[in-house]
Structures are given as C-alpha cells and as structure tokens.
C-alpha cells in the first residue's frame, strides 16, 4: 500500500479522501490555493503545500504546481477527487510519467470516455444500449435534418466534449434546428475548445439512473447497484437516492451484468459510473464518468463499502476486495447537495459562516469542510456540504432526512437547505414519482403566482 497520498482537490471531497487514507494508515498531503490556507482539508492533512493563487487555473488546475508538490513531499500517489483534473487524461499520464501512481483509470480510458461520440459508439459495440441518435458527429445541416426527421422531434443537440449540461440544446421543431446547432456549436467551442456535435432523441419523461462499478484492470469488474439522480436543476444533480424507487432487483441485476461484461472486456481499472436515462422499462446510455462521483456516499451507505478505500487498493495493485455475489444492499439512502446559494433564486452566497451545527444521530452522515468562522470562497463550486441519510427503508430515510435538515444550522451565508425541505415535502417526491424535468417544474410553480 502507498505510504503517502497527495490529494489534488479541495473542500468536502479532499476531506473524504483524507479520511479514507488515515483509516488505512496512509499519510496525506493537501494542496491548496492562497484563498484556501484556512480550509479544513488543509488543517486535517498531515502536510500541505500552497500551489498558487485563488483562481482554479492558478492552483487546482496547475499541473506543474501539483507535480512539484508531490515530488518535494515524496508522495507515492495522487488522488484527483472529482472535478478539476479528475478527468484529464493529460494529467493522468503526466502523473505516471513522474513515477507517481494516479488513483483512477488509465489515461487511455479517461480519454475514450471524455469523448462522448467515441464513448457512445464504443459502449454500443460492447453491448450497452444507447439513446437513439446520429451515427457519430453531425457536420452538415442536411444530415442533421434527415437524422432528426428519422428520430422524430424533439431532439437534443449535444456537444461531444460536453460536461455540466453545457452545449446542449433541445429542438422541438424542424425550423429551429439550424439555429440550435449554431448556438450549441458556439457554446461548446467557448466552453471546451471543441465544437463537435451529435444528435439524440430527446426523452420526455426519463429518470437518470447510474450504475457504480469497480474494476481491477485485469478484466474483473463488479457493480455496486444503482443511484437515482433524476432530481436535477439545469442538468445539475441536486438530490440523489440509492436505490431507485421504480427499479426492481431483477432489472438492477440485468443492467449491472451488462455493464460489468462490457467494462471487463475493456479491462477497466478503478471506480467508474455509467449513466443512463431510463424510460418505459428501457435503459439508454448517456455517458461514463471515469472518476469518483459527488453522490458516491449513497452507494456506500446501502452497501457498507468504502469506495475510496477500494480505489486506493486497486491503484496499489490489489485485486478487488469482494466478488459480485458478496455485494448486498441494505435499506435506503438519500444525499442532499447543500450549496452556498440563495434557495429562492440560486444566486451564489459566499461569505463568513457565523454559526455551524451539523445534525447527528443514527444514519446521519455529513461530508463538509464547513466550520464556524470559515469564509466560503467565491472562486469555486458552491457545494459546501453533503447531508447523507440512511434508513432501513425509504420512509424511515425521508423522515430522518426531514429532522436532520431541521437540525442543521448554518448562519452567515444562505444555503439550499430550504430547497431540500421543500422537495421532500412534495407528494410526488414522497411517492417516488418524478423524472429529470420534475424539479425545474417545482421551482417554476413556486415563482409563478
Ligand atoms: P453532461 O456531461 O453535460 O452532464 P449528460 O449527457 O450527462 O451531459 O447529460 C446531462 C443531463 O442532461 C442528463 O442527466 C439528463 O438530465 C439530460 N439529458 C441528456 N441526454 C438527454 C436526452 N437524450 N433526453 C433527455 N434529457 C437528456
């Protein structure tokens, strides 16, 4: 096992990785920007190195700074967390070229899955069902019109390099196609420096269901069941559940088996998530994330497994610590992403945290770097805490979540705690009857008198 791991991230995920390392007797190195000198991830790590200025490009995306920090501290491995450099194939190969272990998949697999057109065609070839759409990139309007006619409107124009819902345009009728393609192209070019586009059938009422996998790189791949991440706003996940209320264990096993077969043929190594849209009993692949996900704790709560420890073991060359038939599920888990935002209009709310009192008790987990006196920085993602609840069944989980949200005190800044309180009071949520567009409609309903 590694003796020392550098954590190339910040906030709650850096703390999460730090915890797994310490429990395995591994010492840790935090890196941080000048703005994060007082951050909890820096305080709890064994060593820390300031790698640059406040903006992400000066610090958490600064590859030479991170590599230098790893070299001077003698770190054996780097965990990238999520976001920042976690899906940069270039970063993964530079890390390995310096004789340091990258805790994640190979650069080749990161590159493949980062290209949505290439990954879609690859997984289709490996037997995973995909959303009906164009056969690869769309380069001219005539083909785009023909494909859309064939799929039937509405269609979705998507960016091959896409992420975070950017570069996506829904097209309801033929006359809008040309303008939507131009808009998506401009947005993709500006956001990713790559304007390759493709077309998909726009699914009207799907759920977003994803499968967590672990692979050892030697063709052994297991899955840890599904997460339902349908509660989204602007294509960003807000609240996630494990398991999914409309999936039975047979459907879970069938899709899980397909995914494991495909990824074992690929020789996939480390943790990954295969995202699907699910409608009328059918799964349609949308993308694969080659990293730890924000919502991984709900899977940990129902399986009792520590996914970060598994990542560390795999990266250090061990085989998987369990086989598929040793994976079992208990109860239900829900995660609320708590952002430093005004719950009413979602405007950012950075600033000084005055009082901080997290909820506790059985089945309550809080992953957060907040403390009283901490200043939430305006430079980074607004996620400041993840409240993760486990219950013996969904009903107990929701009741526990309600009381935990009521207990949670964060003053000085605004947070999205009231949004979560509102969501879990809705009859559709309580009945488990929602799709990926439901939350936007809930928000719209409250603003229109
Ligand atoms: P990104 O990488 O930008 O997050 P994804 O392909 O993962 O892009 O899609 C993000 C979200 O957009 C999905 O969770 C879903 O809500 C919506 N979406 C993507 N593809 C479709 C589709 N074909 N039909 C309807 N909604 C879609």
DSSP assignment of 250-303, as one string? HHHHHHHHHHHHHHHHHT-EEEEEEEEEEETTEEEEEEEE-S--TTHHHHHHHH
**Ligand 1, atom nearest to 232 Cα:** 16
- Where in the chain are all domains bearing CATH 3.30.1490.20? 132-201
pLDDT of residue 258: 97
To the query of whether residue 291 is one of the catalytic residues in this protein, the response is yes
Atom 1 of ligand 1, nearest CA residue: 163
Distance (angstroms) between ligand 1 centre and the Cα of 245 equals 20
Choice among 158-167, 355-364, 383-392 with the minimum mean pLDDT: 158-167
User: From CA 43, how far away is CA 30, in angstroms rounded?
Assistant: 9
Cis peptide before 332 (omega within 30 of 0): no
Stretch(es) of the chain classified as CATH 3.40.50.20 = 4-103
How far is Cα of residue 227 from the mean position of the Cα atoms in its chain? 11
Annotated catalytic residue within 10, 252, 291, 337:
291
Residue 156 C-alpha to ligand 1 middle, in angstroms? Answer: 9
Q: Which tens digit of pLDDT belongs to each residue from 129-145?
A: 999 999 999 999 999 99
DSSP 8-state symbol, 424: T
Q: Is there an atom of ligand 1 within 6 Å of 208 CB?
A: yes
Regarding the domain with residue range 132-201, which homologous superfamily does it belong to in the CATH classification? ATP-grasp fold, A domain (3.30.1490.20)
Q: How far apart are CA 363 and CA 361, in angstroms?
A: 6
- Closest-CA residue, ligand 1 atom 13, reads 235
228 lines ligand 1 (CB under 6 A): no
Residue range(s) occupied by CATH 3.30.470.20 in the chain: 207-447
Please tell me whether residue 448 adopts helix, strand or coil conformation: coil
The CATH number fitting domain 207-447, selected from 3.10.580.10, 3.40.50.970, 3.20.20.70, 3.30.470.20: 3.30.470.20
Query: pTM value?
Result: 0.96
Q: Which H or E run includes 233?
A: strand 221-233
CATH (residue range 4-103): 3.40.50.20
Q: Which of 165, 230, 238 is the pocket-test mutation for ligand 1 (most atoms within 8 Å of CB)?
A: 165
The residues near 180 (Cβ < 8 Å, ≥ 6 apart) are: 157, 169, 170, 171
Each residue of 332-373: pLDDT tens digit? 999 999 999 998 899 999 999 999 999 999 999 999 999 999
**Which atom in ligand 1 lies closest to the alpha carbon of residue 200?**
23
Is 199 near ligand 1, meaning CB less than 6 Å away? no
Cα(303)–Cα(326) distance, integer angstroms: 10
Pocket lining: 163 vs ligand 1, CB cutoff 6 Å: yes
Question: 210, 286, 293, 294: which to mutate for ligand 1, most atoms within 8 A of CB?
Answer: 286
What tokens appear for 124 in the block? 């289709």
Q: Looking at the predicted structure, is the pLDDT value of residue 247 above 90?
A: yes
| Model pLDDT, residue 120 | 96
């Amino acid at each position: 096992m590694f003796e020392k791991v550098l954590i190339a991230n910040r906030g709650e995920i850096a703390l999460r990785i730090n915890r797994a390392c310490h429990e395995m007797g591994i010492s840790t190195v935090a890196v941080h920007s000048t703005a994060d000198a007082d951050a909890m991830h820096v305080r709890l790590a064994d060593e820390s190195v300031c790698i640059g200025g406040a903006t992400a490009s000066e610090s958490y995306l600064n590859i030479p700074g991170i590599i230098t920090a790893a070299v001077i501290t003698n770190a054996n491995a780097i965990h990238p967390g999520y976001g920042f450099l976690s899906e940069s194939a270039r970063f993964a190969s530079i890390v390995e070229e310096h004789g340091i272990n990258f805790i994640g998949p190979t650069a080749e697999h990161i590159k493949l899955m980062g290209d949505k057109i290439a990954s879609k065609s690859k997984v289709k070839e490996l037997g995973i069902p995909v959303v009906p759409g164009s056969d690869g990139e769309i380069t001219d309007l005539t083909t785009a019109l023909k494909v859309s006619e064939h799929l039937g409107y509405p269609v979705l124009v998507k960016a091959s390099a896409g992420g975070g819902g950017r570069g996506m345009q829904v097209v309801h009728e033929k006359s809008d196609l040309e303008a939507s393609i131009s808009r998506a192209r401009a947005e993709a070019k500006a956001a990713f420096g790559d304007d390759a586009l493709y077309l998909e059938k726009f699914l009207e009422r799907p759920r977003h269901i994803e499968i967590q996998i672990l692979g050892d790189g030697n063709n052994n791949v297991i899955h840890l069941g599904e997460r339902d991440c349908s509660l989204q706003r602007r294509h960003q996940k807000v609240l996630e559940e494990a398991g999914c209320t409309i999936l039975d264990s047979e459907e879970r096993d069938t899709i899980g088996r397909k995914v494991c077969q495909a990824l074992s043929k690929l020789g996939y190594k480390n943790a990954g998530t295969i995202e699907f849209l699910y409608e009328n009993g059918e799964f349609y692949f949308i993308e694969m994330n080659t990293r730890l996900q924000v919502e991984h704790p709900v899977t940990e709560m129902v399986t009792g497994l520590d996914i970060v420890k598994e990542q560390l073991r795999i990266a250090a060359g061990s085989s998987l610590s369990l086989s598929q038939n040793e994976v079992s599920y208990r109860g239900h888990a829900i995660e609320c992403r708590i952002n430093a935002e005004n719950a009413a209009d979602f405007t950012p709310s950075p600033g000084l945290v005055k009082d901080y009192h997290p909820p506790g008790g059985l089945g309550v987990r809080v992953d957060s770097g907040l403390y009283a006196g901490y200043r939430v920085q305006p430079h980074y993602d607004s996620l400041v805490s993840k409240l993760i609840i486990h219950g013996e069944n969904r009903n107990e989980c929701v009741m526990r979540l309600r009381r935990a949200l009521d207990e949670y005190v964060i003053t000085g800044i605004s947070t999205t705690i009231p949004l979560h309180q509102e969501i879990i009071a809705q009859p559709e949520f309580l009945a488990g009857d929602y799709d990926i567009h439901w939350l936007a409609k809930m928000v719209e309903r409250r603003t229109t008198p």
